[in-house]
Amino acid sequence: MHHILHTGRFFIRNTYQTAWHKCCSSFANMMRAVCVDVPGGPENLLLRTVSRPQPKGGEVLIKVHATALNRADLLQRRGLYPPPPGESDIIGLEVAGTVDTLGPGVKGDWRPDDRVMALLSGGGYAEYVSVPEELLMLIPPNLTLCQAAAIPEAWLTAFQLLVFIAQVKEGEVVLAHAGASGVGTAAIQLVRLFGAVPVVTAGSPEKLKMAENLGAAAGFNYKEESFAQGVHDFTGGKGANIILDCIGGCNWEQNVSSLATDGRWVLYGTMGGRAVEGDLLGKLLSKRGHLLCSLLRSRSLQYKADLVMAFSHRVLPCFSEQPASLRPVIDSTFNLEDIAEAHRHMEANKNTGKIVINVIPQNQDTQ
């Protein structure tokens, strides 16, 4: 009888320990992430506990320290910009953090705790994200993780538009709309780096002053003046060789007027509407203008890998120069719990530069 009871107690103890280990293992495979059950306003952003992604072949699992907002995030939250097929439905297009786990078949020399930043198709508003290793970049040692989170989407977009799409040349004039945005602040610095001349539009004197401090040769307040006239005066009537346009419809006449003969008008957003009324094609034809359209999120992995590689070789070292010739511009930081307020801040067009989200609170992030 004694042996039966002892065996029973042993069995119960083992069952309890097994259950405890399963519970701990299950908890360890979870993470916090921002979810959207119903498309709508910022109040629909919900912080939840969800399953942690597992790295597939050729992927690296990143422990996310910070992410950053992009206009595409606002559209996705409203149900207007779904992720590409097969990608995470969690919002977020860029992160900075540390390497946690390597998936099978990873070829690069990545090691646990390496400080990395990455371009994503989704999944950034979370504590962990799994990323193809081709989209990882080592963070320059002089940058914090918070600063690094402001780089991947904005800087790779600006680099893609200038180099892959418009093929900017030394001495050309580049007009960048939304010059105080994340892409705009990156474009100003890249245009200078490539030996061209940046001019910008923005909606306040403060934003124009900041753009000037970054290297803009001229700036035009689109709320108070004709930027087409400003470009005409600045270039002596020749016009801008390249226009980086995230506004679209409402600006089309001024854009065509601002464009130089044989100029390249690069459209990468339609914040000002998609509809166009008038003689767009006739006016563009008279200038032999090129209308080029580009998105980044929906590009193939190979295209993004080539972009990351080119950026890493040509631009990334400039962040480490002393003094650094390039710097990410950060408007403000929010904790993940305050993601709705961060979205409201961007929707109100209050930001100058990037809005960064600390996934790990700064007082816990010693890196």
The residue to which tokens 């004197």 are assigned: 205
pLDDT for residue 5: 41
pLDDT for residue 270: 84
pLDDT for residue 8: 46
pLDDT for residue 10: 42
Residue environment code for 240-250, b if the CB has 16+ CB neighbours within 10 A, otherwise e:
bbbbbbbbbee
pLDDT for residue 21: 52
> Are 155 and 94 in contact, with CB atoms under 8 Å apart?
no
pLDDT for residue 14: 57
Look up residue 242 and give its two tokens: 């390249």
The residue to which tokens 């280990």 are assigned: 21
Cα separation, 159 vs 163, in Å, equals 6
pLDDT for residue 118: 98
Ordered per-residue pLDDT tens for the chain, 367 residues: 444 444 444 444 555 555 555 545 556 799 999 999 999 999 999 999 999 999 999 999 999 999 999 999 999 999 999 999 999 999 999 999 999 999 999 999 999 999 999 999 999 999 999 999 999 999 999 999 999 999 999 999 999 999 999 999 999 999 999 999 999 999 999 999 999 999 999 999 999 999 999 999 999 999 999 999 999 999 999 999 999 999 887 888 899 999 999 999 999 988 877 787 888 889 889 999 999 999 999 899 999 999 999 999 999 999 998 777 899 999 999 999 999 999 999 999 889 999 999 999 765 554 5
Using a 10 angstrom Cβ sphere, with 0-12 exposed, 13-18 middle and 19 or more buried, the burial of residue 125 is buried
* Single-letter amino acid, residue 118: A
> Are 92 and 128 in contact, with CB atoms under 8 Å apart?
no
Q: How is 266-326 classified by DSSP, letter by letter?
A: EE---TT-S---S-HHHHHHHTT-EEEE--STTS-HHHHHHHHHHHHHHTGGGGSSSS-S-
